[in-house]
Structure 1
Amino acid sequence: MLQPSNMIKSVFLAATVLTMANSCQNADAADGYEVSGQLKNAPAGTVVRLSELVSNQFVEKGQAQTDASGSFTLKGSSATPGIFQLKVDDANQVLLMLDNKTKVQVSGDAKSLPVTYTVKGSKDAEVLRQLTQVMQGTKGEMESLGQRYNAAGQAGKAEEMKDIEKQFYVIQGRNNNKIKSLIRRNVTTVVGGFAVGAFLNPEEEFQFVDSVATVQRKANPNSPFTKELTARLEPMRATAAGATAPEINLPKPEGGTLALSSLRGKYVLLDFWASWCGPCRQENPNVVKAYNQFKNKGFTIYSVSLDQDKGKWEKAIAADGLTWHHVSDLAGWNSVGGAAYGVKSIPASYLIDPKGKIIAKNLRGEALAAKLAEVLK
């Protein structure tokens, strides 16, 4: 999980991209897609480009020039539904889902396309418009929070940062609930399969996303979005809430090894970190506070370091006052512990119950103490 400031930035980026998403399906259209439209503030000769997302980059498929009324038409073919970018310039572009039965009409202001565009041609287009409006509706508020968070961090105002984090999570939760409601109402559609992976974080919403993937495998088994979603979820399954925590048995700083399973009978926070990880070190005071509050109530911590230098690892443990269980194979990102949990970024954590089941992931700030207070009544 990213540091809150980076999380906020990532949500802003996602909101910026997803605000541009839209899709159309028209069963009566002739083979091959057609994208037509009329744009304000697009004088004759304005170039409109259409590109397809292939291997995480857009490959241009065609371009057209507007006429005196700002109108344009683009045609091509796509045997399976794909994500396309309709672009006037870097600041004015929208995303379309196209296949050979798609006939879509786009309109809007070429100078502010992401916030003014409308799409006609299918129910899917309207669903995606509503989804993007959810993100667009809080974009300004989230940007303001990000600016305030960074300013508070630079000024060393820890309490203000915590308050901003709370506001961020409230907005994020509200957005997620609206998005999930829209997806539920369109769960069997191709756009539903696309939207659940594009608008939600499968790590944080695994149970919901997995349930949608199950429906998609029956309703749209050949959809590239179904296949991509299934492949994306599979490595998460082993560490999803409710799963038995995969075993880790690594060396301790003082010698010997310690198995995660040896701590059964207590609530255990499995914490992935490293001495060189700034966000991890910034989060450590919160973890220390929670540990001191609950260590005598059936709670402990098993920290797995992604360090490679034993001296720096041990120095960080002492400097941050981390008086719990520590292990590491000193293999950095190649740690077998990290691999067992699919760790791609740190800090990352898993709260495990006394029976060895994962019950929560990536609890940060006051969220960790709140969850522990709930389960350790």
Structure 2
Amino acid sequence: MTIATTTTVESAMRRALDLAALGPAGGPNPQVGCVLLSPDGRVLAEGHHRGAGTPHAEADALAQLPPGTAAGATAVVTLEPCNHTGRTGPCAVALIEAGVARVVFALRDPYRLAAGGGDRLRDAGVEVVEGVLADEAAALNERWITAVVRGRPWVTAKWASSLDGRIAAADGTSRWITGDTAREDVHRRRAAHGAIVVGTGTALTDDPSLTARDADGSLLPDQPIPVVVGASDVPSDARLRSHPRPLLHVRDHDPDAVLAAIAEAGATSAFLEGGPTLVSAFLAAGLVDEVLVYLAPTLIGGPRLAIADLGVATISAQRRLDVRATRALGSDLLIVARPHHAGSPESFAAASAATRED
């Protein structure tokens, strides 16, 4: 029997990664894609995971084929096939029962309850190859992997400010500091997170909708869970009450408690939108994984700073960041930065494998 070549398998893995990216980000599940290859390297079927409760990528691909036609095939998957029964059955078992001869996956599953599919496949006589395009797969699911390894959601802190670090004029007006292109980028990033978080001050003053919207104002397919932090009640007629997803009100200012509530709601990433008291609390606690700063070429002055006190009493205690990317957005500039010495996706992938061997 012929076996699909390494080049063919890598090409299929790249396709599987593209398919995986079609699935929702920020929820309780990773983004996973699968391509089934015939022994001579032809694509038999493709699949990807569409969200909690839907068929996993492997099952989605197998469902495209008549019974028996996957016998002898190679399954190329971006994540180790799961080995547990949750809302769906174990993908490792589905592949064994379908007669798949070889399984190639990029990353070992860091989630202990689902891990072990590779070993189960080997025990059943299926050839297993792991680590193909592992770095690319780790980058795709970096937030989910980080959440699993650290036991808390990935946190992105975002603010838009003038060049002198102001987020509003002295009277509190802030619409709009940045332009349309920058705001469109924010909405795309909202949709890529499981939750969007503001304090009660922002919720009551700005009456935000906290939805992720397209340029024409229509809702994007993926919507983050709206989260409000603070003791004050959110009015019944607030725009937040019309969000497509139920409001999560966390009446606790402790960042760890907020993240625990967000994780309990099923989100593995959180997008902090404000205000400065909320964002600064997470920064001071060392719980921010990425910072997005949208800088507008304007000067405002006054007291409305983007960041409040971080407990930096002397310059040696400053919070160093590494700039990962810069991008022009119309007349504005986006700076993407992360805490100095923060781990890479690849390091978290390696850590995830290590957790299974502890």
Q: TM-score w.r.t. structure 2 length?
A: 0.29
| Structure (1/2) with the larger helix percentage | 1
Rg larger in structure: 1
